[in-house]
């Protein structure tokens, strides 16, 4: 008598997230956390401008010309939160990927962030502690953000994807610097007071430089990985 045995079915392997994939999600999480301080303060300012309770101290620079302030807060929030997910490689796949659709929103949002920032720095009533040096610093970095976005657009039109990613990374670093600036301003405010012009200028300028430095590290790391993939 022949005994037949039923073969044990091979279990189907279910895809699981690798440690590297899980680690990638720390990037947008960290970027959004960095932007939390300006997002919360901006939301409070919008509430106040819309007739809500006075959550933050009254400031003439916001009440005299509220439109640029509102545009700046809304566009900066979109740019910070949506842009954080552009660093996930998995969202770049496909002809109608998240990366492409989000980019069509991020480019005008980033330009609005820079242009309204320049407008407020040049034409609104500046608070105590914002001296001529800080004004120049804001003009330099605001202009550089506009140039970065313009070069990113030119690169994508020419299908130069690596250059596009590099310039948008620089623009994003400049656009989310408000969170870094809030952290950098704390030591100077404790030591010299919140209205000390030189310490404020140094802290805000240093925050922009640090963000740009991190952006350059990210860009170089991408370039090294691209070279390694080509060499395989």
Per-residue confidence (pLDDT) for residue 152, from 0 to 100:
97
Q: What is the mean pLDDT of residues 177-202?
A: 92
Whole-structure pTM value: 0.84
| Mean confidence (pLDDT) of the chain | 84
What residues contact 182, with CB distance under 8 A and at least 6 apart?
37, 38
Residue showing tokens 């170089």: 220
Residue that wins the pLDDT comparison between 13 and 103: 103
Per-residue confidence (pLDDT) for residue 1, from 0 to 100:
42
The percent of residues above 90 in pLDDT, for the chain, comes to: 51
pLDDT tens readout for residues 120-155: 999 887 777 888 999 999 999 999 999 999 999 999
Per-residue confidence (pLDDT) for residue 106, from 0 to 100:
95
Model confidence at 97, pLDDT cuts 50, 70, 90, reads confident
User: Environment class of residue 74 by beta-carbon count within 10 Å: exposed (0-12), middle (13-18) or buried (19+)?
Assistant: middle
């Amino acid at each position: 008598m022949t005994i037949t045995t039923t073969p044990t079915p091979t279990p189907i392997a279910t895809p699981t997230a690798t440690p590297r994939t899980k680690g990638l999600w720390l990037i947008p999480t960290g970027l959004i956390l960095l932007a939390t301080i300006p997002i919360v303060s901006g939301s409070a300012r919008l509430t106040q401008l819309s007739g809500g309770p006075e959550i933050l101290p009254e400031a003439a620079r916001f009440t005299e010309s509220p439109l640029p302030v509102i545009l700046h807060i809304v566009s900066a929030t979109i740019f910070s939160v949506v842009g954080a997910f552009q660093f996930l490689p998995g969202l770049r796949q496909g002809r109608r990927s998240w990366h492409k659709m989000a980019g069509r929103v991020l480019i005008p949002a980033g330009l609005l962030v820079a242009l309204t920032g320049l407008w407020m720095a040049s034409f609104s009533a500046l608070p105590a502690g914002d001296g001529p040096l800080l004004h120049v610093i804001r003009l330099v970095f605001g202009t550089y953000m506009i140039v970065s976005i313009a070069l990113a657009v030119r690169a994508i039109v020419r299908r130069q994807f690596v250059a596009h990613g590099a310039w948008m990374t620089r623009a994003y670093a400049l656009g989310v610097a408000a969170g870094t600036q809030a952290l950098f301003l704390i030591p100077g405010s404790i030591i010299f007071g919140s209205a000390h012009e030189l310490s404020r200028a140094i802290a805000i300028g240093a925050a922009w430089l640090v963000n740009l430095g991190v952006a350059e590290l990210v860009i170089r790391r991408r370039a090294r990985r691209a070279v390694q993939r080509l060499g395989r």
